[in-house]
Amino acid sequence: MLIGFSEDSARPITRSSFLREQVYKHYKVRRMTSKAPHRSCLFDAFFNETALMPRSIGYGATLGSGTGAAGRHARGDYIAGMTDRYAILEHARLFDPRERT
């Protein structure tokens, strides 16, 4: 054989173990995750004041008064869909007085 894998490379690697070790546990991913604000404070801010929600995601017509299950669900969906980076930006927009909206 002219070309082949080394012994280490030839052993089977499962996709999940590769992703876990090379992606999810990567130090850059862990750093970003540690920076991400607790999403519960974003939920609390949006729950307590519906007007903080961006109109582009349905504030107003969809959320209505915002006190019912549909309003809580809409807020949860909005927050759950955030990347860590976007959650950090949203948190800064809401809570950092130096940040422009």
What pLDDT is attached to residue 71?
73
User: Which range is least confidently modeled, 8-12, 46-50, 62-66?
Assistant: 62-66
Residues contacting residue 47 through CB under 8 Å, at least 6 positions apart = 66, 71, 72, 75
What pLDDT is attached to residue 1?
58
* pLDDT classification of 64: cutoffs 50, 70, 90: very low
Query: 60-63 long-range contacts, Cβ below 8 Å, gap at least 24?
Result: none
Look at the chain and count its residues: 101
Give the mean model confidence (pLDDT) for residues 86-99. 88
